Amino acid sequence: MKIQFQDTRLALIRTDRAFVTKLPFAVIKSCRDKLVVLEAAPDERTLRNWRSLRYEKLKGDRQGQRSIRINDQYRMIFTLDESQVPPILNILEVCDYHD
């Protein structure tokens, strides 16, 4: 999949300037690991089958969005456009579900 970021500040997760996101270091490291997995996935079915990601299609106000688990507290929220080749995954946010 091709990875895009809606927020240029969030795109800094991939760089040495990741501290600008104000996310905890462990979350940044886990996000980087998950990005590798997401880029390697050829389609949505692969994400669903990879149980450790805890892939979910969201409902309600977030209909059309998907999420994967970063750790017990954080999730990565994104949209997925499979009409493109390769599919485009647009990361919207990394959020703390407990806030």
**Which H, E and C letters describe 36-98, residue by residue?**
HHHHHCCCHHHHHHCHHHCCEECCHHHCCCEEEECCCCEEEEEEEECCCCCCEEEEEEEEECC
Q: What's the pLDDT score for residue 99?
A: 56
Q: What is the pTM of this model?
A: 0.90
pLDDT per residue as tens, the chain (99 positions): 999 999 999 999 999 999 999 999 999 999 999 999 999 999 999 999 999 999 999 999 999 999 999 999 999 999 999 898 899 999 999 998 665
Architecture of domain 2-96: 2-Layer Sandwich (3.30)
